[in-house]
Structure 1
Amino acid sequence: MASKRMLKCCKGVLSCCSGPLPDMAPIGVRIKVLDRYVVIDNGIIQLTLSNPDGIVTGVQYNGMDNLMEILNKEDNRGYWDIVWNDQGHSGVFDVIKGTNFRIVEQDDDHVEVSFTRMWDPSLQGKLVPLNIDKRFIVVRGSSGFYTYGIYEHLEGWPDFSIGETRVAFKLRKDKFQYMAMADNRQRVMPMPDDRLPGRCQQLAYPEAVLLTNPINPYLRGEVDDKYQYSCDDKDNKVHGWISFDPPIGFWQITPSDEFRTGGPLKQNLTSHVGPTTLAMFMSAHYAGDDLSPKFINGEYWKKVFGPVFMYCNSSCDGSDPTLLWEDAKVQTVIEMESWPYSFPASKDFEKSWQRGSVSGCLLVRDRYANDMDIPASQAYVGLALPGETGSWQRECKGYQFWSQADEFGNFYISNVRTGNYNLYAWVPGFIGDYKLETTITILSGEDVNVGDLVFKAPRDGPTLWDIGIPDRSAAEFYIPDPNPNYVNRLYINHPDKFRQYGLWERYAEIYTDSDLIYTIGESDYTRDWFFAHVTRKNDDNSYKAATWQIKFQLNTVSQNATYKLRVALAAAALSELQVRFNDATLNRPHFTTGLIGRDNAIARHGIHGLYWLYNIDVQSGWLVQGENIIYLTQNRTASPFQGIMYDYIRMEGPPTSA
């Protein structure tokens, strides 16, 4: 069981961290059921839940009576919530409160409890049409607790959609003031009171404020915005808070991504000023409505979210409290190695012996880059519900299972729930998506070996020129320093400098007289290609389109031949990219994407949103011998946040004989 390995591992990190002393045997888990509360205690941590709501009202640990914010109402401390929509309601925020409590399992080794809220037609329009079962588990010797949820929509029930669902924890603001989510993303945070009128100035949207009179004067002049602490799900394993007095850590550990939506590149919130810690399961952040599952025509649906682990640790000998972060990372590895857990009681959570696996080898075929098929080194290979090529990044109803191939393209996807899947992949360094056309059926205990697979990367002809790196991110392009009046000090001299506020305004400040012009063979995309193609503000505070130019030389033009322009986008927000060749005034562009994207990655400090690939046939008559110019216009101009981020652009010549 995870808790036993935890004690052995933590013991070497801090002289006194999470569990009982080494010479003490952990006591058994006890539960006490009162009229209004349920209290679960294993001698290390005491978890108090409201009865029958299933709200975490208290967490007692290492001498602190309650790690939750005692100034908040009890239903605003630790809770599951959901945002839902139906035909008559939009964006309904619902803190999920149970109506029935029961003990699922109880012995000395663990206690599992359930808080359910069942739906019936009398609740239509009042509550989301789901049966919801929230579970909490405390195990012997563990300095934390697990929670998971089971959502079910029965056949024939009303249509609806989900905008977001998660677990949120609000910690004591007088204790937890240091946040950590990565080795290079941790800091003393502002207080929640710093976001109140008189202490801050609201910026372009409510989540972003400039701290004008913070309680900690060192933070004066900084920007606070919860989206600055977003993270790709593939990297979002552990985050949380540290109290320095007493030295206690509270961490949210997510050992698996299988129940999250949108694949490994989906971005989500983590921890932010509150002090708040989130376990995000579904959200439209950095994607828009595409990642809001819609249930129509009374379809049946059931899904298990979690378990996730809320881990507490402490230092008793005066060790640097920030070492609690190091211990939390160790515990995260232990939880990941223990996945799928053996102790959840629900039959809907499949155990390891009920699952299967998929293995194989992925190769890339691009005859203009290499005569041989080459290993798909570091490829992301995953299983998701059957769909179109690339549909995994918008998939939001089922489970997904991903792994990264080794340098030879070998991959192994373990602990896959039973069911039917398509196998998808994308390869850093190559544009496009791979999909195995055959549906894979996973049975309990079965390892499916798919053998050698070949991804035929999009390619028609030789590369004439390219801009960027095909990695689904705009991080390699020029990211300016922020306006010194709007800085988060965490991101000064930081590899994630794109997380600074207001970078969209820097475009017009840098390109004051004319828009960006990029000359092939002379310009450097790390210096001369702005990371986001944004609008430009007019004197009357309206906005106008920016037209970028790519200049390139052609010694000859093959007549009656077709060239290819491949444009991969890393993000799009209510945008339309228009492409013109050698005539900026052409009324009808040679190509347009039409209106695309709702990921809002520019405003939310993300270096990517959803991925888009456009393969544009270029007629030889559009080109000339000598200098050519491609005009790129993003012509939607209602706000400063409408724009795109490029991932990679490549111009190919006509096909040549093999």
Structure 2
Amino acid sequence: MSPMGVTLQIQDTHVMMDNGLLQVTLSNPGGLVTGIRFNGIDNVLEVQNEEGNRGYWDLVWADPGSAGTKGIFDVIQGTSFNVIVEDEDQVEISFTRSWNPSLQGKQVPLNIDKRFIMLRGCSGFYSYGIYEHLQDWPGFNMAETRIAFKLRKDKFQYMAMADDRQRIMPMPDDRLQGRCQPLAYPEAVLLTKPINSDLKGEVDDKYQYSCDDKDNKVHGWICTDPRVGFWQITPSDEFRTGGPVKQNLTSHVGPTTLAMFVSAHYSGEDLVPKIQDKEPWKKVFGPVFIYLNWAMESDDPLSLWEDAKAQMAIEVESWPYSFPASEDFPTTDERGSVSGTLLVKDPYIDEDYMSADSAYIGLALPGDAGSWQRESKGYQFWTRTDEDGNFTISDIRAGNYNLYAWVPGFIGDYKYDVDISITPGCDIDLGGIVYEPPRDGPTLWEIGIPDRSAAEFFVPDPDPKYINKVLVNKPDLRFRQYGLWDRYAELYPNTDLVYTVGVSDFRKDWFFAQVNRKKDSKTYQGTTWQIVFNLDEVDQSGTFKLRLALASATVAELQVRVNDPKANPPLFSSGVIGKDNSLARHGIHGLYWLYTVDVPGSLLVKGNNTIFLTQPRAATPWQNIMYDYIRLEAPPPSPSK
């Protein structure tokens, strides 16, 4: 028996899509999702909320020239409703909002078209948005845009966003005064009188459920009576900003589920799209898939999570979708592909070319090497190389791009030296391409692993008073516990960290972030870390190279001094860098920075030497530097040697 066809009912104030599996009701012409009926639940969305606070697209915008990431919060309400496709196999509907000069300063200067699609036999619905800024319009900044769903708190209390991060969540009421203790910032609270007493004494913070976009493909909620799952599936990262390791929110207490498209989380203002006056710009966000599933009463509720992951794999395999009706969403035959083999050349490691194993390689708008991580206006297309460095990037939208890469195990960024033009149906084979990472001489010593993360360093156990139980006994997730910044002063109460090359172990002896030292409840002071190392000989006339790769920085300054902790000025200063806020947001990386410091041989001595790394900025506990990797290179040997 074939599934029931899709029907569309249009009323004065609402429209409803129905395929026999679920019914989705939206406001007319606003395009707000007001109801989702599924498997005996009249509405899975929070019926106690106003209709405008259940399921919606939103954005945050500001006038051009505005600094920071704040702005005007705007739930996007359509002003016109149109039927794009209506037959038994598919309904696609459109809710548009147009801009004109009379709205300047009152509404973001964008034409926005929100689309919703329901297919026959499909247990869910799709949504995508088309944002367009015309050439003669004024500019704007857009710090965030997303889709948000607020589910029924009496039904959906179990959240899953990864195999190792899923749990019964606190109720939204648990975050109200009288049931919790506010912590250092509004997102974090300590549950003191939660409705579910099993959760007493735990920290709740939505940022503990963030993850890299490359891993952020399915998350959502489970209702146990009846057994129903609500899942947000993002099958592609092409429309997200900042590349594959940009971090974003997923699901959190509400119960809330987000489809994040643009955000400044873990990056700051660098990833706020700044559309200039008279700059034509158009971008399609999505489609994403809202998937609902159900299980028998006798089934394990967690089978819904396993099924959601399986459905996610189907959606990823189906990308790019063939059914969206907009000409702004190209089908697979309107796209192109690029392939090749990435090799690494570093003669100080191996005289032969090395395969770039598991490298991240992708296309983004033209720019400098590494510019992709701060790119927020265009589309990006990424993959990983195999163990031999081979790669194929498929289904690339037509346009002009640069090819970028970075290789775990090596510092720096690769950029192919020729722009790449993608045309419909093209299949470009670049053959062998070679990345030569920064290198001037042989390694004298190194600290860490060059992988753009501080995860390999020492992450302390949290204060027992401030734990999230879902993160306990999971060493790879320990960095997501609350309050780790204050553990440094407890571990180093009187003097700062000293790392002795050849004796210390970075996994145990290098704190994961160079944080400020807590002096009392309201004041902090900067810190100076020391790297002590021995040199058997020193070329006094040569130049040594100190490579400093940073995994994150937050309103921090890195000063470098050699063998004189009071040298003024320091040998090197980064100036104030970074607005990642990764430490407070329980991240282990943000934006990547790479510095090379020339160290004159005259500053070094035969025997023991000390490099002093100072982070002096100390207005808040969260000003810090996370290191990725540090290396000292000797001067290159003379040709005669």
Q: TM-score range by the shorter chain?
A: over 0.9
* Matched position secondary structure for 2:418: strand
Partner of residue 573, structure 1: 554
Aligned residue among 296, 310, 313 for 2:290: 310
- Choose from 75, 99, 102 the match for 1:95: 75
Distance 2:341 2:558 in 1: 37
* SS of 1:438 mapped into structure 2: coil
Match of 2:508 among 523, 527, 536: 527
Q: Which amino acid aligns with 2:404?
A: Y
Question: Which runs of structure 2 are paired with 1:303-382 in the superposition (5 Å)?
Answer: 303-382=283-362
**How far 1:156 moved relative to its partner?**
1.7
Q: Distance in 2 between matches of 1:529 and 1:424?
A: 31
Once residues 539 and 484 of structure 1 are traced to their aligned partners in structure 2, the CA distance between those partners, rounded to angstroms, is 20
Amino acid at match of 2:39: N
Could you list the structure 1 runs, at least 4 aligned residues long, displaced by more than 4 angstroms after superposition.
87-90
Aligned to 2:459: 479
Does the Cα contact within 8 Å between 1:385 and 1:399 map onto a contact in 2? Answer: yes
> What secondary structure sits across from 1:389 in the alignment?
coil
Paired AA for residue 487 in structure 2:
R
Structure-2 residue corresponding to 1:19? none
| Helix, strand or coil at the partner of 1:152 | strand
Letter paired with 1:584:
P
The residue identity in structure 2 corresponding to 1:415 is D
| Matching residue's letter, 1:74 | E
Matched residues in 1 for 2:275 and 2:314: separation?
Answer: 36
1:350-369 CA distance string (max 9 Å, x none) = 00010000000000000000
Task: Report the equivalent of 2:13.
Answer: 36
Aligned to 2:568: 587
Residue 85, structure 1, aligned to residue 62, structure 2: yes
- Asked if 1 retains the 8 angstrom alpha-carbon contact of 2:239 and 2:286, the reply is yes
Gaps in structure 2 of 5+ consecutive residues: none
Q: Report the Cα offset of residue 159 of structure 1.
A: 1.5
Equivalent in the alignment of 1:188:
168
Give the equivalent residue in structure 1 for 2:122.
142
Counterpart-to-counterpart distance in 2, 1:656 and 1:242? 63
- The alpha-carbon deviation at position 541 of structure 1 amounts to 2.4
In structure 1, the partner of 2:592 is: 611
CA distance in 1, matches of 2:85, 2:207: 39
- Gaps of at least 5 residues in structure 1 are 1-23
1:640 alignment partner AA: P
Deviation at 1:71, TM superposition (A): 0.4
SS in 2 for 1:437: coil
Shift of 1:230: 0.3
Aligned to 1:464: 444
* 1:65 to 2:42 alignment: yes
Residue 622 (structure 1) shift: 1.1
Q: Quote the residue 2:528 is aligned against.
A: 547
How far apart, in 2, do the equivalents of 1:285 and 1:387 lie? 22
CA contact (8 A) 2:226 2:297 kept: no
| Secondary structure in structure 2 of the residue aligned to 1:451 | strand
Equivalent residue for 1:178, pick from 143, 158, 171: 158
1:74 paired residue among 12, 31, 51: 51
Question: How much does 1:88 deviate?
Answer: 9.1
Partner of 1:461, secondary structure, is coil
CA distance in 2, matches of 1:608, 1:87: 29
| SS, match of residue 174 in structure 2 | helix
Q: Distance in 1 between matches of 2:620 and 2:18?
A: 53
Q: What SS does the aligned partner of 1:58 have?
A: strand
Task: State the SS of the aligned residue for 1:71.
Answer: coil
CA contact (8 A) 1:88 1:125 kept: no
Letter in 1 for 2:497: L
Whether the 8 Å contact between 1:544 and 1:637 is mirrored in structure 2 is yes
Tell me, what secondary structure is at the counterpart of 1:593? strand
- Give the letter aligned to residue 52 of structure 1: P
CA distance in 2, matches of 1:154, 1:231: 34
- Are residue 154 (structure 1) and residue 134 (structure 2) matched? yes
Aligned to 1:155, what secondary structure does the other structure show? coil
Number of aligned residue pairs: give it.
635
SS in 2 for 1:497: helix
How far apart in 2 are the matches of 1:526 and 1:219?
A: 32
Q: Name the residue aligned to 1:401.
A: 381
SS at 2:489's partner residue?
A: helix
SS in 2 for 1:607: coil
> Which residue in 1 is equivalent to 2:617?
636
Looking at structure 2, the residues matched to 182 and 650 of structure 1 have their Cα atoms a distance apart, in angstroms, of 35
Q: Post-superposition shift, 1:318?
A: 1.4
Match of 1:418 in 2: 398
TM-score, L = length of structure 2:
0.98
1:113 is aligned to: 93
Hey, what's the Cα distance between the residues in 2 that align with 1:539 and 1:431? 38
Whether contact under 8 Å (2:227, 2:297) holds in the other structure is no
Alpha-carbon distance in 2 for matches of 1:530, 1:539: 21
SS in 2 for 1:496: helix
Do residues 556 (structure 1) and 533 (structure 2) align?
no
> Alpha carbons of 1:554 and 1:193: their partners in 2 closer, same or farther (altered >3 Å)?
same
Contact 2:545 2:633 in 1 (8 A): yes
1:559 offset after TM fit, Å? 1.9
Following superposition, the deviation at residue 657 of structure 1 comes to: 4.4
Paired-residue identity, %? 66
- CA deviation digits over 1:396-442, x for unaligned, max 9? 00000000000000000000000000000000000000000100000
Aligned-partner residue type, residue 144 of structure 2? E
The corresponding residue for 1:297 is: 277
Structure 1's 539 and 207: CA in aligned 2 closer, same or farther, altered over 3 A? closer
* Cα distance between partner residues in 2 of 1:656 and 1:70: 73
- Answer whether contact 2:64 2:274 (CA < 8 A) is retained: no
Q: Which position in structure 1 is the counterpart of 2:236? A: 256
Partner Cα separation in structure 1 for residue 466 and residue 631 of structure 2: 35
Listed one character per residue, the Cα deviations across residues 235-267 of structure 1 (whole Å, up to 9, x for unaligned) are 000000000111000000000000000000100
1:56 aligns with 2:26: no
When residues 218 and 317 of structure 1 are mapped into structure 2, their CA distance, relative to the original with a 3 A threshold, is closer
State whether structure 2 residue 606 is matched by structure 1 residue 625.
yes
Q: State the one-letter code of the partner of 2:624.
A: G
Give distance in 2, aligned partners of 1:312 and 1:160: 36
TM-score normalised by length of structure 1: 0.96
TM-aligned CA distance change 1:540 to 1:214, over 3 Å: closer
